[in-house]
């Protein structure tokens, strides 16, 4: 819908599509600024500290100040680093995480690309991030960076399997790969959300609920691993690897990595929200519908989408400051010996239920 | 030249130029990472041809699976800290002959074939049709491929565990 408005406004397809493609950036940058502050506040309060307090109200503008500081920093490229790939790596990582936003329905009025293979595209494009991380680790010519990149890639590649299996079970229930259609199917209140059995009725709905909850838990655990968050943050493990693949990066390039990391956090949270919690659908109903103001509804939907995403980002932070880090062998055990078999069994059961 | 032509030439440029780097780079890591852009460009071509599903599978299988494995292999089997991963050019004359013969053959094929040209109807989505075809007309091939992959998996595991 926004694409059509933009084409009308500019009278040119190319300009309209470029602007439409840049819109998620308008969302990501303020989100990252807010999320970094939130992370510091959450960690501080969990440890009985105050966290940033000086810049703005309760330190709200701390991240803005930090960002201005980062921009001013000298851009250091180590003498033995592979210069071309060192510069290309942060761009690849961010491009990969940004590309995933193309398939997200922010509201019923805006989706970057209404491709029919939405969720499949999101899984596939994350491999560009992996390649970018490996590139960063290798180009830095530093063993800690390389270890971090290797761990990260191994982790993302293995945890893609349980994620894909859970997504497959949702696809079986909804019968579509498109994220916009999935959100559309969960309209009409929170009891129609996929976690509560979707828009099915009767026995099927009741039978689906426990398995949907299991599916969600598996999905959430593996999505934590995919974005390298604690308890799966071995790639960055400060106490052993300095800070993993971005050890050698400074200034602007470092902040691009940071931006990509937080964009990824929101991306997986948004996928969780779309798959299980109704996407942009409001849990109760729309004020716009109540008052008869049509244009208000898409904005409300954007609000709900952002809120659901933010909530899961908050849970990620909460877990980060609660749980200790797992070891590499435990990481692989969790994935291959627990999550994948459970996901498989869950997939079969959900498949059987949908046949009823 | 419309929007889609520009996009096509962009993808073609990316594909061809990175393919040239793949074969000409002295450093194997460069070749491996350039291959990423080649595969990505080919995926873009698929999208322009209206086969969205194949494009995503291309990304998933080649970029996400094979290429990452390739990069891992190159990184783990060579000295990782020093850039000593070189590839040189040998056997220039036989290679040249082979390339010329292949190129002539391909060009002859391209010009002599009576191409079946019809105005393209770009399907809205290919996923459903592909799924139906795979489970009806091509179900035997589909199942056989599944078994082949399973055998490969079991074989890999047994090779990896042999020393115990």
Q: Say whether the peptide bond before residue B101 is cis (omega within 30 degrees of 0).
A: no
Q: Which of A150, A139, A133 is CA-nearest to residue A264?
A: A133
Residue B57 has pLDDT above 60, yes or no: yes
Domain with B164 in it: 126-164
ipTM: 0.78
Interface of B with A in 20-79 (CB under 8 A): 29-30, 33, 36, 40, 52-53, 56-57, 59-60, 63-65, 67-68, 71-72, 75
Higher pLDDT, B76 or A177: A177
Q: Look at residue A171 and give its three-state secondary structure.
A: helix
Hey, where are the domains in chain A? 25-72, 74-354
Structural domain includes residue B106:
no
Gap between the Cα atoms of B65 and B155, Å rounded? 18
Report how far residue A252's alpha carbon sits from residue A73's, in angstroms, rounded to the nearest whole number: 8
Computed over every residue of chain A, the mean pLDDT equals 83
List the structure tokens of A321. 């400051």
Q: Specify if B53 maps to a domain.
A: yes
The answer to whether A116 contacts B124, with C-beta atoms less than 8 Å apart, is: yes
% of chain B exceeding 70 in pLDDT: 87
Per-residue pLDDT tens for B86-97? 566 677 888 899
CA atoms lying within 13 Å on the CB side of residue A17 = 9
Residue B83 placed within a domain: yes
Residues of B in contact with A120 (CB under 8 A): 53, 56, 60
Which of B89, B104, B137 is the last residue in one of the domains? B89
Last residue of a domain, one of B37, B63, B89: B89
The DSSP result for chain B, as a single string, is --HHHHHHHHHHHHHHHHHHHHHH-SBHHHHHHHHHHHHHHHHHHHHHTT-HHHHHHHIIIIIIIIIHHHHHHHHHHS-SSS---B-----HHHHHHHHHHHHHHHHHHHHHS----------S--HHHHHHHHHTTTHHHHHHHHHHHHHHHHHHHHHHHTT-
Chain B residues with CB-CB distance to A150 below 8 A: 72, 75
pTM above 0.80, yes or no: yes
Q: Two tokens at B164?
A: 């115990």
Residues of A with CB under 8 A from a CB of B: 13-14, 17, 82, 85, 115-117, 120-121, 123-128, 130-131, 134-135, 138, 141, 143, 146, 150, 153, 157, 160, 177
Query: Do residue B13 and residue B84 come from a single domain?
Result: yes
Inter-chain touch B68–A126, beta carbons under 8 Å: no
User: What burial class does residue B3 get, using C-beta atoms within 10 Å of its C-beta: 0-12 exposed, 13-18 middle, 19+ buried?
Assistant: exposed
Whether residues B30 and B79 share a domain: the answer is: yes
Asked if B80 and B130 sit in the same domain, the reply is no
Cβ–Cβ gap A130/B36 under 8 Å:
no
- Distance (Å, whole) CA A272 – CA A276: 6
What is the residue-level pLDDT of chain A in tens, covering all 356 positions?
A: 677 777 777 777 777 778 888 888 888 888 888 888 888 888 888 888 888 888 878 888 888 888 888 888 888 887 877 788 888 888 888 988 888 888 888 887 777 777 778 888 888 888 888 888 888 888 887 888 888 888 888 888 888 889 989 998 888 888 888 888 888 888 777 777 877 777 777 777 888 888 888 889 999 988 888 887 777 777 676 677 777 777 778 778 888 888 888 888 899 998 988 888 887 888 887 777 777 777 778 888 888 888 888 999 999 888 888 888 888 888 888 888 888 999 999 999 988 888 87
CB contact under 8 A, B72 and A153: yes
Tens of pLDDT along B118-146?
Answer: 776 666 777 888 888 888 888 999 999 99
Instruction: Tell me, yes or no, whether B40 and B85 share the same domain.
Output: yes
For residue B155, is it within any domain? yes
Q: CATH number of the domain at B40, please.
A: 1.20.120.1200
CA distance B59 to B67: 10
Where is the domain boundary, B61, B89, B117? B89
Residues in chain A: 356
Structure tokens belonging to residue A309: 């995403």
Q: Decide if pLDDT at B83 tops 60.
A: no
- Kindly state the tokens that stand for A282: 């409001």
Tally the domains of chain B.
Answer: 2
Residues 6 or more apart whose CB falls under 8 angstroms from that of A218 comprise A162, A165, A166, A339, A342, A343, A346
Element (H, E) at A50: none
């Amino acid at each position: 819908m926004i694409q059509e408005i933009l084409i009308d406004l500019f009278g040119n397809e190319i300009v309209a599509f470029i602007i439409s493609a840049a819109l998620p950036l308008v969302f990501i940058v303020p989100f990252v600024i807010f999320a970094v502050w939130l992370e510091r506040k959450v960690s501080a309060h969990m440890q009985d500290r105050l966290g940033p307090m000086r810049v703005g109200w309760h330190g709200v503008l701390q991240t803005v100040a930090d960002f201005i500081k980062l921009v001013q920093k000298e851009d250091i490229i180590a003498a033995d680093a592979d210069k071309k790939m060192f510069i290309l790596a942060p761009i690849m990582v961010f491009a990969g995480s940004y590309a995933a936003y193309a398939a997200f329905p922010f509201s019923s009025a805006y989706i970057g690309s209404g491709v029919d293979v939405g969720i499949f595209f999101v899984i596939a494009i994350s491999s560009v991030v992996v390649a970018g991380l490996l590139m960063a680790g290798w180009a830095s010519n530093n063993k800690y960076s390389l270890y971090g990149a290797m761990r990260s890639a191994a982790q993302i590649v293995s945890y893609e399997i349980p994620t894909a299996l859970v997504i497959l079970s949702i696809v079986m229930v909804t019968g579509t790969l498109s994220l916009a259609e999935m959100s559309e199917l969960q309209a009409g209140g929170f009891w129609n959300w996929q976690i509560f059995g979707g828009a099915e009725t009767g026995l099927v709905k009741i039978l689906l609920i426990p398995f949907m909850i299991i599916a969600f838990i598996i999905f959430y655990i593996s999505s934590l691993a995919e974005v390298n968050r604690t308890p799966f943050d071995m790639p960055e493990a400060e106490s052993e690897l300095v800070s993993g693949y971005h050890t050698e990066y400074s200034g602007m390039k470092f902040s691009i990595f940071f931006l990509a990391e937080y964009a990824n956090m929101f991306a997986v949270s948004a996928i969780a929200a779309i798959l299980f919690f109704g996407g942009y659908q409001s849990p109760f109903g729309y004020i716009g519908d109540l008052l008869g103001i049509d244009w208000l509804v898409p904005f409300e939907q954007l609000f709900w989408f952002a809120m659901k995403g933010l909530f899961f980002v908050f849970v990620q932070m909460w877990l980060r400051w609660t749980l200790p880090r797992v070891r590499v062998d435990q990481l692989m055990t969790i994935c291959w010996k627990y999550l994948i078999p459970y996901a498989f069994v869950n997939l079969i059961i959900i498949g059987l239920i949908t046949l009823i | 030249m419309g929007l889609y032509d520009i996009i096509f030439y962009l993808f073609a440029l990316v594909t061809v130029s990175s393919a040239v780097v793949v074969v000409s780079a002295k450093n194997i890591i460069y070749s491996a990472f350039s291959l990423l852009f080649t595969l990505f460009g080919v995926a873009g071509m698929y999208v322009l041809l209206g086969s969205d599903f194949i494009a995503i599978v291309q990304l998933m299988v080649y970029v996400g699976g094979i290429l990452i494995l390739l990069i891992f292999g190159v990184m783990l089997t060579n000295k990782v800290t020093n850039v000593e991963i070189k590839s040189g050019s040998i056997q220039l004359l036989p290679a040249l002959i082979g390339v010329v013969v292949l190129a002539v053959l391909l060009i002859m094929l391209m010009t002599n074939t009576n191409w079946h040209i019809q105005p393209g109807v770009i399907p809205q989505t290919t996923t459903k049709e592909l799924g139906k075809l795979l489970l009806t007309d091509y179900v035997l091939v589909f199942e056989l491929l599944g078994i082949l992959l399973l055998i490969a998996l079991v074989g890999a595991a047994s090779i990896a565990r042999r020393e115990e």
